[in-house]
Amino acid sequence: MKNKSAFVTDILLFPASIFFSIGVKFIFHACGKKDDGTYMACHWAEQAVFAISIAIAVISVIVLLVKNRYFKAGAAAAVIPCALMAAVIPNNMINLCMMNTMRCHSTMRPFVIILSVIIIILAIADIILNIRKKGDKNET
Amino acid sequence: MKLKKNLPLRNLLGRPVRTTVLVILTALLSVTFLCGTLVITSLRKGLGSLEARLGADIMVVPYEAATKSDLQNIVLQGNTGYFYMDNSRLEKIMKCDGIGQLSCQFFLASASSGCCSIPVQIIGFDPETDFTISPWIKKSGGGQLKDMDIVVGNDLNAFVGDTLKFYGVECHVAAKLDKTGTSFDTAVFTNENTIKKLIKSSVDLKMNSFTNIDPDKTVSCVLINAAEGYTPEEIINDINIHVKKVKAIQTKEMISGVSDSLSGVSDVTGILISAVWILGTVIFLLAFTMSVNERKKEFAILRVTGASRKKLASIVLQEAVITGITGSIIGIIIGLVIVIPFSSSIESALNLPFLIPDISRITEYAGISLIISSLTGAFAAGFSAFRISRIDTGLILRGDN
C-alpha cells in the first residue's frame, strides 16, 4: 500500500530543491559584477549556495525515485545538513557586501534562509512519514 | 451522538478540494490585510523617523547643491555626494537674527568601503555644536567620538571594534546606530577632525573631482533651529536675501515630496486591501451558499436522526471557523515571511523611508488579521447557517426542494 502523505512530501521536496537552485542562481541572485569586471564577496557565497542546492536537488530526485522507505528516509536525512549549510553560508561563512540594502543582503540571503527552512521541514516530515509507514513485511 | 462531535472536521476532510479553496481564500485575505497594514505602518514609521533624524528647522547649503537637487538625493534617496561652501558664508549666516542653534556638517563620499565597490556617504559633524546626530548616537549607546572614530548606520555590515579604511585612512567603528529606515542607515558619521583628514586624504590621492578645496575653510551644510519668538520662514528669508550663493531650505518642505509619495502608496494599498476583502467576502458567501445547497439532503438526514436546528447551524459555522483559523494562520506566516525578511527589497522598490514596526506591534497586527479573517468566514457562513436551520426536512427528503 502506498503511503500518500510520504508521497506528497517526496514530491514537494523535489520542486522546492529545484526552485532553490534556480532561484539562487537566476532570480534571487547576489550583487552583480563591479565596474571593473570583478566580483564582490557575495558572488562566491551565491556560488557556494548554488553548488549545495544542486546536491540537494540530486538527493531529492533520489528520494522521489527510490522505492525503499528506509532509503528514502536516509536520503531525506542527508538533505538536512546540506540545507543547514546553505542557510549559514551567506554572511556567516562567506561575507556578503557592506550594506544591508544591497541585493545580496536584501534578496539572496532571506531567500536562501527561507528555502533552507522549508526544505528542512519537508525533509523532517518525509523522514517521519516514511519511517512511520506500515508497509508490507517483505520490505526491508 | 459521537459522530456529530467531530462532524465539522470530518465534513471538511471529506471534501478536500472545497476545504483547500476556502483555506487558500482565507489565507489570501489574511496575507493581504497583514502585508498591507505592515507596509503602510512601516512607511509611516519611516517618515516619522526621517523627520526625527533631520532634527533641524532649516538646512543651508550651497546654491548649486539645492538647484541640482544634490541635497535631496543625499538626504532622502541615500545617494552619495558632496558639496562645499566657504567658511565666510557661515560667518554671515551666524549674523542673521533668530538663530537658536547652529551646527555645521561636512559631506564626503567614500570611493570604496572595504569589501565592496559601493561608495558610502560620510557625514562629519562638530560634536560641540551638534544637535541632530549626537542625541541619536547617545540613544544607540555610543559615547563621545575620539579622532578617527566613526559611527556606522544600521544597514552597514560593520560592527563595533571593526576597522574600516577610507582613502587609505583607517577608522575605528565606535558605535552602530539604531535602525531608522532612512538613507542615514547606510551612512557613516564622524567628528569634524576626522572628516577633514579624510577630505584631505581624498584630495591628496586625487580620488575625488574637487582639487582646490581646503578642508579647514569649508563646510557642506549648516543646520539651524529657530530661536524662540522667530519662525523658520523669517530666518530662511533673512538668509536667502542677505547671504549670497547659499540656499536656506525648510526641512519640512524637503520631506513633503516623501510625504506625498507615502500618501499615494497608502491610498493604493488601502484600495487594494478593500478590493480583495470585498471580493473575498462575496466568494465566501457564494461558496457557503452553494455548499449548503448541495448538502441539503445531508443536513435533512442529520435532522431526522435527531440533530437540532441549532446543531445544524453550528456545524456550518464550525466548518467556517476551522477553515478561517487555518487559512488565517497560513496567511499570517506567508505575510510575515514576505514582509520581514524582504523589507530591504520593499524599501528599495518603493524608494521611501521604511521602518518595520517592533515585534509587539507586528504580533498585534497578526492577531487582528487572524480575528478579522476568521470572522469574515464566519459572517459569510452565518447566512447559510441561518438558512439550513430553517430547512423543511420532509420536503427535501421527498426531493421537492
Mind giving me the DSSP string for B305-332?
TT--HHHHHHHHHHHHHHHHHHHHHHHH
Select from B105, B121, B258 the least CA-distant residue to B186: B121
- Model pLDDT, residue A136: 47
Helix (H, G, I), strand (E, B) or coil at B295: coil
The secondary structure element, H or E, covering residue B277 is helix B256-294
In which residue ranges of chain A is pLDDT below 50?
Answer: 1, 136-140
Residue of B176, B188, B345 best to disrupt the A interface, most CBs of A under 10 A: B345
Q: Which residues of A touch B114 (CB under 8 A)?
A: 98
- Whether B284 has a pLDDT exceeding 70, the answer reads yes
Among A113-127, B93-107, B303-317, the range scoring the smallest mean pLDDT is B303-317
The larger pLDDT score, comparing residue B393 to residue B292, is at B292
Higher pLDDT, B217 or B5: B217
pLDDT at B38: 92
Q: Is B324 exposed, middle or buried (0-12, 13-18, 19+ CB in 10 A)?
A: buried
Find chain A residues with C-beta within 8 A of B116's C-beta.
31, 34, 40-41, 97-99, 102
Cβ contacts of B158 on chain A, cutoff 8 Å: 98
pLDDT score of B316 more than 50? yes
Helices A109-132, A4-22: crossing angle, 10 deg rounding: 160
Query: What is the Cα–Cα distance from A21 to A54, expressed in whole angstroms?
Result: 6
Of A31, A36, A98, the CB nearest to B157: A98
Contact between chains at B342 and A107 (C-beta distance less than 8 A): yes
With a cut of 80, say whether residue B79 has pLDDT above it.
Answer: no
Q: What confidence score (pLDDT) does residue B345 get?
A: 87
Q: Judge residue B59's burial from the number of C-beta atoms within 10 Å of its C-beta, 0-12 exposed, 13-18 middle, 19 or more buried.
A: buried
CA B102 to chain centre: 31
Which pLDDT score is estimated for A140?
A: 41
Residues in B whose CB is inside 8 Å of some CB of A read: 78, 113-118, 120, 154-158, 185-186, 337, 341-345, 347-348
Select the more confidently predicted residue: B347 or B257. Answer: B347
User: What burial letters (b/e) apply to B146-172, b meaning 16+ CB within 10 Å?
Assistant: eebbbbbbebbbbeeeeebebbeeebb
Q: Give the minimum alpha-carbon distance from A140 to chain B in angstroms, rounded to a whole number.
A: 32
| Domain residue limits, chain B | 2-49+258-397, 53-251
Query: Residue B334's pLDDT band (boundaries 50, 70, 90)?
Result: very high
Q: How far is CA B318 from the centre of its chain?
A: 37
Q: Does B44 have pLDDT greater than 90? A: no
Residue B76 confidence (pLDDT) above 80: no
> Which residue carries 526552485 as its cell?
A19
Task: Tell me the DSSP string of B226-256.
Answer: EPTT--HHHHHHHHHHHSTTEEEEEHHHHTH
Quick: pLDDT tens for B24-38.
Answer: 988 988 999 999 999
Q: What is the pLDDT of residues B105-159, one digit of tens each?
A: 888 877 655 544 567 888 888 888 888 888 888 877 767 788 888 998 888 888 8
If you average pLDDT over residues B51-78, what whole number do you get? Answer: 73
The answer to whether B26 and B333 have CB atoms below 8 angstroms apart is no
- What's the grid cell of residue B238? 533673512
Per-residue confidence band for B52, with pLDDT thresholds at 50, 70 and 90:
confident
**Secondary structure of residue B151 in the 3-state scheme:** strand
Summary mean pLDDT of chain B = 83
Q: Verify whether the Cβ–Cβ distance A113 to B342 is below 8 Å.
A: no
Say if CB B134 and CB B53 are below 8 A apart.
Answer: no
Interface test with B, best of A33, A98, A115 (most B CBs within 10 A): A98
The predicted pLDDT at position B46 comes to 86
Calculate what percentage of chain B has a pLDDT beyond 90: 10
DSSP string, chain A: ---HHHHHHHHHHHHHHHHHHHIIIIIS------TTSPPPHHHHHHHHHHHHHHHHHHHHHHHHH---HHHHHHHHHHHHHHHHHHHHIIIIIB---SBTTSHIIIIIHHHHHHHHHHHHHHHHHHHHHHHH----TT--
Bridge partners of residue B58, in order along the sequence: B224, B250
pLDDT > 80? residue B212? no
Q: B185: helix, coil or strand? A: helix
> pLDDT exceeding 70 applies to what percent of chain B?
90
Q: Which of A69-78, B51-60, B223-232 has the lowest mean pLDDT?
A: B51-60
